[in-house]
Amino acid sequence: MAKRDKHGALRDDVRLLGELLGDTIRIQAGQAVFDKIEQIRALAKAGRHGEDSEALLAVMAELGEEELVPVARAFSHFLNYANIAEQHHRVRRRRAYQCDSKAPPQEGSLAELVPRLLEQGVDPERVQQTLSELRVELVLTAHPTEVTRRTLLRKYEDIGEILGALDHPDLTLREREAQLNRLRRRIVAAWHSDEIRHRRPSPVDEAKWGFAAIEATLWEAVPETLREIDRVLRQHTGLRLPLASVPLRIASWMGGDRDGNPNVTAAVTEEVILLARWKAADLLLRDIRELRADLSMVDANDALRARVGDHPEPYRELLREVRARLENTRDWAEARLKGEELNVPVYLHDAELLEPLELIHRSLLDCDMEAIAEGSLVNIIRRVHCFGLALLPLDVRQESTRHAEAINEITEYLGLGRYLDWDEDQKQRFLLAELQNRRPLIPADLPASDEVAEVLETFRTLAGQPAAALGAYIISMATAPSDVLAVRLLQQSCGCRQPQRIVPLFETLSDLEGAADTLEQLLAIDWYRKDIQGRHEVMIGYSDSAKDAGFFAASWAQYRVQEQLSEVCRRHGVHLTLFHGRGGSVSRGGGPAHAALLSQPPGTVNGAVRVTEQGEMIQFKFGVMGLALRNLELYTSATLEATLAPPPAPRQSWRDMMQTLAERTVVEYRRVVRDDPRFVPYFRTVTPELELRRLALGSRPAKRHVSGGVESLRAIPWVFAWTQMRLMLPAWLGTGRSLAEQVEQGRLELLQEMDRNWSFFRMLLDMQEMVLAKADSRVADHYERYLLQEETLVSLGEELRSGLREAVEVLQTISGESLLARIPVLRRSIDVRNPYVDPLHILQVELMRRLRELGEQGDNTLEQGLMISIAGIAAGLRNTG
């Protein structure tokens, strides 16, 4: 019997979407445009199969101005539809695992992990207790990497749902035709929708987008994942997940991340918190209305009867009160948003809402209605424990210098001197003395500058929020204990009675190297150690450290600092939670989360982890229900395994080699990025870095400092620019040379041993493979050939492309296989997409060249075409920043 092609359905979906898109283009843009697009597609495919690409370049060069946008849109739309088909296929494959009773559990699932842990000798009670106490928190951030407009995302979601409907084998011919017509309408509607934002979203817009992500999938996916945890526990241990346990939580930075974003103000933060409370009340109200309609039973226990009296429908009677109070809560939040006050009884604390729900749950169990008790009621109770009345605890992030400037204005006004001029010891003595001083620190008549007034107003706003509405207070660019103590003093001085936990963020290579010493000094302070009550959180920055030192050096620094921070906390008897500030791209710490968590240093996960989910990765991981369920389970299982069965500690010879590689990488990386005078002109000329600023991606500026150069450029546009022209430089620069040197010196066997036996090193090489498979020296050469004029810049391009080839060759030498040989599905996905991305690269280069010649004058058609090419390439590579 012939082996069934498990990916045939994916190809069928892509073919169907491509045909419908072609029909749409033929009808909407005309036969001539369709024929030109088909000609370009055929030539691009031929070029990828080794034929001369000059014919493709010639056809692209002859495109009239009226053809540029339709051609760019055609290829961009196809790549987005290929993404939808792939996402749907992942859900389809997951369902196939679950439907096949003979298939082994899917890798990374709890059904695969828990029995494996038990076989390894882990006690069932310990598995249950660890899962019950687990704390995996995903933090949604509004980093500007989601290039697709929300209106198109909704259409894409519909297309995915229609593909799912078409999978049903028992559709009648009429039903199938109806679904195909729905699909056709969605594709036509998308073709007539502007895919480019023309207005930057505000921080409030970004927060609303985050709320939409909760409502669309996570509101359902979180309790369903907890139900799966409970099912697996019961099946393999006979134990249950307690109803109050929340191993999975969701938090947000949207509306709280003011680091370098002047658009996030105290007023914005307060508005976002109120909007979140409104949305939480609205979602819970829907749940309660549905539950009340279901619970028509008469039998109830004495406790419930005592509460509602002799009512014929006791559950509905109690839920009537709950419904009314949730309506009040929603109306109260809406009134506050309008600047009005509404004096009605509302829910202020989660416990108030949980009490009647738990009373109902107990009554149902007492009356032998377990099947009903374990239904939607359990989901609602778990949602309240996870999301609560705040929906998303809001983290606040601010740069350390802003707090220091606020303290400085206070000390100067009080005649105490310039805080900014004091050394670290002086600062700590002053801050600790004030923290233990009962008199007010901030004078009522302090003539604060606008920046300091905003900092103080932010703390006063936070002081007025319920504790459940707030997450962590993150200090970016933290370098010293005084950075943390300054925030604690400002919290106290502004009336924060239940202050947010303070989380220093260590970002650059030097900051990471000094992080353990900073934490050691902090925990040596008796007052501070008592204040944190045995728990501390530290955030590790992946983006800026990689931009500062290169991917390999930054990764090794992140590994070592986790070990060091864990040891410091262990000695002081403090539980450490590590907050990983990962981005979407490999060079910003992205990649498969499951593998990343399992490659952390042994003992550093310890039952708790926080991870940022940024930009387009929120849609990619959680935009479809099946994918949301899979990714939530992967985070849970990886954290459980890293806690109970961590990887063995690396051998000293491996550590020595990694140190050598890191030191050599950072030297090579900085030699090019910092020291080569050709580098900045090359970067600015050959990448669309300047053009990216035209995209209305996010509310935050692309630079921390408007007047700064490349060094002030944020990590996201830095990576985005290199991705667009396929050089992918931040991910491999320095790494290839350092690895090649070790191979040349006869240490290949040691590198291969590390590859086989050290999960951290294997993960690094896997991530390198993924990004290098998307890199393309030929595409980069095209950008250089048409955009570079100076011979010295051309020579740098040749050197960089030579370095890219060296990086590919050395990885293949270590693995003994071609790139992505172990992940053939990804390899094929990239190969299939390349012919559709190539025309967009050619268009982008031509549009960049024309627009640069026009200068400030600009041209709307050319600009639109350029923006579409940027979005299309991002879709084709499934990556921006």
**547 a catalytic residue:** yes
Which of 36, 77, 88, 143 is catalytic? The answer is: 143
Quick one: 703 exposed, middle or buried, by C-beta within 10 A (0-12, 13-18, 19+)?
middle
The runs of H, that is alpha helices, within 338-399 are 350-366, 370-373, 376-386
Phi then psi dihedrals of residue 315, to 5 deg: -70, -45
Return the closest-CA partner of residue 640 out of 594, 601, 678.
594
User: Which residues are registered as beta bridge partners of 609?
Assistant: 136, 578
Question: Which residue reads 């990804």 in tokens?
Answer: 826
Helices marked H in 387-436 = 400-413, 424-435
Task: Give catalytic status of residue 89 as yes or no.
Answer: no
Helix 860-877 to helix 65-99 angle (10° resolution) is 20
Catalytic residue among 536, 547, 594, 774: 547
Cβ–Cβ < 8 Å for 514, 461: no
Q: Whole-angstrom Cα distance, residue 475 to residue 134?
A: 25
Report which residue type is found at 365: L
User: 510, exposed or middle or buried, with CB in 10 Å at 0-12, 13-18, 19+?
Assistant: middle
Q: How many residues does the chain have?
A: 881
CA distance 780 to 359: 65
Report the 10 Å Cβ neighbour count for 758. 21
CA distance 773 to 678: 27
Using a 10 angstrom Cβ sphere, with 0-12 exposed, 13-18 middle and 19 or more buried, the burial of residue 609 is buried
Distance of CA 482 to the CA centre of its chain: 30
Contact 475, 488 (CB under 8 A): no
**H helices then E strands: how many in the chain?**
39, 8
Cα separations in angstroms, 556 against 207, 550, 601, 649? 34, 10, 11, 14
Residues 6+ apart with CB under 8 A from 356: 307, 318, 319, 321, 322
Catalytic annotation, residues: 143, 547
